[in-house]
Each structure stands twice: as C-alpha cells, then as structure tokens.
Amino acid sequence: MSSINTLYVSVSTKSLDREASTNEQLEVRGTEEELETLRQMLEQLQRDDEVTQFRAPIPYKSADHDKATDQFNDDMLKLYQFIYILGTDKTKAHIHDMNILNKLQNTDYEHPGYER
C-alpha cells in the first residue's frame, strides 16, 4: 500500500513543493503515483504555455478557436480537476469559490461575434 504524501501546488508557477510558501499554493494529498501524475500535468501545462506564447504577439491572429489555446485550456481544466480530487477540504473550497471549473468548461462562444 502506498503512503499518502502532502505537497503544495502553485498553478501560476507550475510547481509542486514539499513545503508551503507564502505564494498562492493549493494543498494536495496523494500517493507517489498520483503526485507524479500531477507533476507531469504541470510539465504539460508549461509546454502548452510555451506554445501559446509564441503565437501571442501575432497581431492579426485571434486566440479564439486556436488549437494551441484550446489545448492549454483543456489541460488547465484537467489540472484543476485533478487538484480538486487530491485537494484538502480547504483546497476544494478554494477551487469551488474560484468557480474556475465551470468557467473553463463554459466559454462564451454562444455570444454574437463568435461564429465558427
């Protein structure tokens, strides 16, 4: 049986630490395998972020309906869902209060101006 470990996640810096810091961090508890999955998800989000930043300065290219942006959003959603699953009650309450999972799942593409 795997032991449960506590780590602290910072989504903005895409880091996973053994000790809490003064930065915004979310406390999670999981097995080594679960925490390794979380680490890999953070690394994927970092790669997604790097891809989207290369296309950001192109003034005529909108980020709407962009494959790189869609991938980033999908991976961000999966990351927050996984953090929620592994999160402490405080972490779950924080994610719930952020309402980020609903926002990431429900874009405003139904509004005028977002034709496919």
113 lies in a domain?
no
- DSSP states of 52-108: HHHHTT-TT--STT-HHHHHHHHHHHHHHHHHHHHB-HHHHHHHHHHTHHHHHH--S
115 lies in a domain?
no
111 lies in a domain?
no
Mean pLDDT, the chain cut into blocks of 10 residues (116 residues total): 89 90 87 96 90 63 65 89 95 89 59 48
pTM (whole model) above 0.85: no
pLDDT at 69: 75
User: Containing domain of residue 56, as a range?
Assistant: 5-105
pLDDT at 116: 44
Q: How many domains does the chain have?
A: 1
